[in-house]
Structure 1
Amino acid sequence: MSALAKVAYFWRSAASGLRHAPFVHFIAVTTIAIALFSAGLAQALGQRIDGLVGSLGGEVQVTVYLSPGLDEEGASVLRERMEARSGGRASLVPPQAALDRLARELGDLGEALAQLPENPLPPSLELQVPAERRTPGALKALAEELRALPGVTGVDYGEEAVERLSAISRALRYGGWVAFAVVLLATVIIVSATLQLAIYARREEIEIQKLVGATDRFVKVPFLIEGFLQGLLGAAVALGGLVLFERLVGPWMTSLFSFLLGPGGSTPLLEPALALRLLVAGCVLGLGGSFIAVGRFLRV
């Protein structure tokens, strides 16, 4: 038998095995799909929240409140020191400018500010943080550095929001990997079990092949291909589920993240790199289960 004929036989045999036991293979494909869908969704959401956290440094300014007794020259010197330490750009906001801006943001309620006997707002410096210092850890360290400068009475950069988003991202990522590891073990076991059932159902055919001189490798290859096809189908179902999820839930997520990030801040849930990783993972899962199953061929 030529190599091309062998390859054609292996694929025909694998396809025949899938057709003869559809329910058993359906369980394996469904299990793989659930595992990959869960892992892919957790990773995609984690990446999106990471992008949100990374953008906060540019969208949310680091506001440094200055001592009311600091004169304009002292504020200018402090601004230069802040820019040198952070690598960003800072602008001075006088108390009256801050009060006027607050009145505009409050709308009709802003008229009440005109009744105040004095301006309660201190002068401040608004710092635009460079991209490399927009992580939660870097922002926290920068805030501590700025608080230590003379003439600084307080620093605000939305610390609570940044830390919460970072915690959610970590939880999604780690939770997704833990869940994937648990389902991974169950998936390999189920794939192995389904192929062992397929082997048992075709034990007479296998015995005949061995009697006519077929090697163990020749007998095992179709079942390895079956496992590969199970993984490939499971990955395809998982990708379809992610696409459906994005179409149904995507508009709501886009509006939410657009509000937080501004125009152009949304990214596709299913990126090509993630889709490729899920396809590879599906094939590996299917082959892993099939290797375990065919390892018992000689005892069939």
Structure 2
Amino acid sequence: MNFLLAVFSQTGRSLVETWRSQLLSLMTITLSVLIFTFFYLVYNNALHVGNRLDNDLRLIVYLDDQPDAALQQEYRHKIEKFDKVERIEFVSKLEAYDRFKGQLNDSQDVLKDIPKDFLPSSIEIYPRRTLESLSRIKGFSEYLETLPGVLKVQYGREWVERFYSFIQLLRVVVFLSGSLLILTTTFMIGHSIRLTVFSRKKELELLRLVGASNSYIRVPFFLEGALLGLLGSIAGMASLYLLFRWIQAAFAGKAEGMFSFSFFDAPTVCMIIVLSILLCAGGSFVSIRKILSV
């Protein structure tokens, strides 16, 4: 009990005596967490855009003839052999005609003298709406073109490729911002600990002379780093939430029906805070260990 009271007392006194450098470290951690979580939030929401797509994410396989039940089963087996899909729909010539007629609305008279079987039968394939499936759509299309009786495969090639490239770019940005978070927090925590150690150099030497253990000397600095990580991550997440709410309020109604962005769930927020604490505490531990071993 006395050990814990002494440790917390040492930590508090250290924070008070070096509050300028600690404030700078706290601001750096907050900004780093904000930058990382902002791009991660955009990336996380972009991954879920595919879940809200409708007919934009499908492959239409046009056939030279209408398949019977046995051939449909064979097509289904070959399609699912390449990749798992959400669903497969076979559209007959008459169903294609009815769809086309319904799209014409008031101009249906143009179909008066045209036979109802002039449109080809087709297979509509709805792939899983994940980044992995998006990355394989081009190969999926090329595979479908090799199936017997296939005339043409159609899908939103340009849209899918642009969306996938955007996701890949975001992934790189998230990685770089995460690396920035690690580097800046490690550097700032290490710098802050060095300043604290130098300001208390005589006191630490005296503690060693009277027999203080390395744990007694190191733990306050470890707690100092953990506390900065906690406060910095909470401040960063709070700033991100305020930014998120401002963007929601500023663009409310303008993108309604197109995109619906959401904030992190509670487990993700807790995970980010815990990781920040561990990162700062680890940086502090490594730094003080190097200094005291000299």
TM-score with structure 2 length normalisation?
A: 0.80
SS at match of 1:296: helix
What amino acid does structure 1 have at the position aligned with 2:292?
Answer: F
SS at match of 1:280: helix
What is the rounded CA distance, in whole Å, between the counterparts of 2:157 and 2:114 in structure 1? 29
Aligned match for 2:78, one of 75, 80, 85? 85
Aligned match for 2:291, one of 292, 296, 299? 296
What is the rounded CA distance, in whole Å, between the counterparts of 1:24 and 1:77 in structure 2? 75
Q: Compute the displacement of 1:193 (Å).
A: 0.7
Change (3 A) 1:24 1:99: same
Aligned match for 2:21, one of 10, 13, 24? 24
Matched, 1:61 2:58: yes
Residues 93-131 of structure 1: CA deviation (Å, up to 9, x unaligned): 535324323324xxxxx6398399869x83242524353
Aligned match for 1:122, one of 101, 119, 143? 119
Q: Compute the displacement of 1:57 (Å).
A: 7.6
What is the rounded CA distance, in whole Å, between the counterparts of 2:253 and 2:9 in structure 1? 45
What amino acid does structure 2 have at the position aligned with 1:114?
Answer: V
What is the rounded CA distance, in whole Å, between the counterparts of 2:58 and 2:38 in structure 1? 31
What is the rounded CA distance, in whole Å, between the counterparts of 2:231 and 2:283 in structure 1? 14
What is the rounded CA distance, in whole Å, between the counterparts of 1:223 and 1:237 in structure 2? 21
Matched, 1:14 2:11: yes
What amino acid does structure 2 have at the position aligned with 1:203?
Answer: K
What amino acid does structure 2 have at the position aligned with 1:22?
Answer: W
Q: Partner of 1:38 in structure 2?
A: 35
Q: Partner of 1:271 in structure 2?
A: 265
Q: Partner of 1:244 in structure 2?
A: 242
Q: Partner of 1:284 in structure 2?
A: 278
Aligned match for 1:163, one of 161, 164, 182? 161
Is there any run of 5+ residues in structure 1 with no aligned partner, and where? Answer: 105-109, 261-265
What amino acid does structure 2 have at the position aligned with 1:102?
Answer: Q
SS at match of 2:62: strand
Change (3 A) 1:77 1:141: farther
- Superposed CA RMSD in Å reads 3.3
What amino acid does structure 1 have at the position aligned with 2:278?
Answer: V
Bigger shift: residues 283-292 or 21-30: 283-292
Residues 7-66 of structure 1: CA deviation (Å, up to 9, x unaligned): 122122212222222221111122222222222222232222222235658763322223
Change (3 A) 1:78 1:163: farther
Residues 162-187 of structure 1: CA deviation (Å, up to 9, x unaligned): 22222222211222112321342232
Change (3 A) 1:254 1:205: farther
What amino acid does structure 1 have at the position aligned with 2:207?
Answer: Q
Answer whether contact 2:33 2:181 (CA < 8 A) is retained.
Answer: no
Alignment map for 1:174-253 (pairs within 5 Å): 174-250=172-248, 252=251
Change (3 A) 1:223 1:113: farther
What is the rounded CA distance, in whole Å, between the counterparts of 2:89 and 2:102 in structure 1? 17
Answer whether contact 1:65 1:155 (CA < 8 A) is retained.
Answer: yes
Answer whether contact 1:49 1:169 (CA < 8 A) is retained.
Answer: yes
What amino acid does structure 1 have at the position aligned with 2:90?
Answer: S
